[in-house]
A and B are shown apart, each in its own frame.
Chain A
Amino acid sequence: EAGVAQSPRYKIIEKRQSVAFWCNPISGHATLYWYQQILGQGPKLLIQFQNNGVVDDSQLPKDRFSAERLKGVDSTLKIQPAKLEDSAVYLCASSLGTGNYEQYFGPGTRLTVT
Chain B
Amino acid sequence: DQQVKQNSPSLSVQEGRISILNCDYTNSMFDYFLWYKKYPAEGPTFLISISSIKDKNEDGRFTVFLNKSAKHLSLHIVPSQPGDSAVYFCAASDEGNNDMRFGAGTRLTVKP
Contact = CB atoms under 8 A, between A and B. Distances in A.
A19 interface: no
Interface string A25-48: 000000101000000111111001
Given A55-B98, A102-B34, A43 B44 contact: yes
Contacts of B97: 56
Interface in A91-108: 91, 93, 98-100, 102-108
Interface string B31-57: 010101000011111100101000000
A39 to B, nearest CB: 10
Contact of B104 (A40, A55, A91): A40
Contacts of B100: 33, 45, 103
Interface in A61-114: 91, 93, 98-100, 102-108
Contact of A102 (B49, B101, B104): B49
B44 A98 contact: no
Interface residues of B, number: 26
Closest 6 CB pairs of A and B: A42-B102, A105-B43, A102-B46, A98-B98, A100-B32, A105-B44
Given A56-B97, A105-B36, A108-B42, 14 more contacts: A4-B43, A42-B89, A42-B103, A45-B99, A45-B100, A56-B98, A98-B98, A100-B32, A102-B49, A104-B45, A104-B46, A105-B43, A105-B45, A108-B43
12 contacts: A42-B101, A45-B99, A48-B98, A56-B98, A58-B99, A93-B43, A100-B95, A104-B46, A105-B43, A106-B43, A107-B43, A108-B43
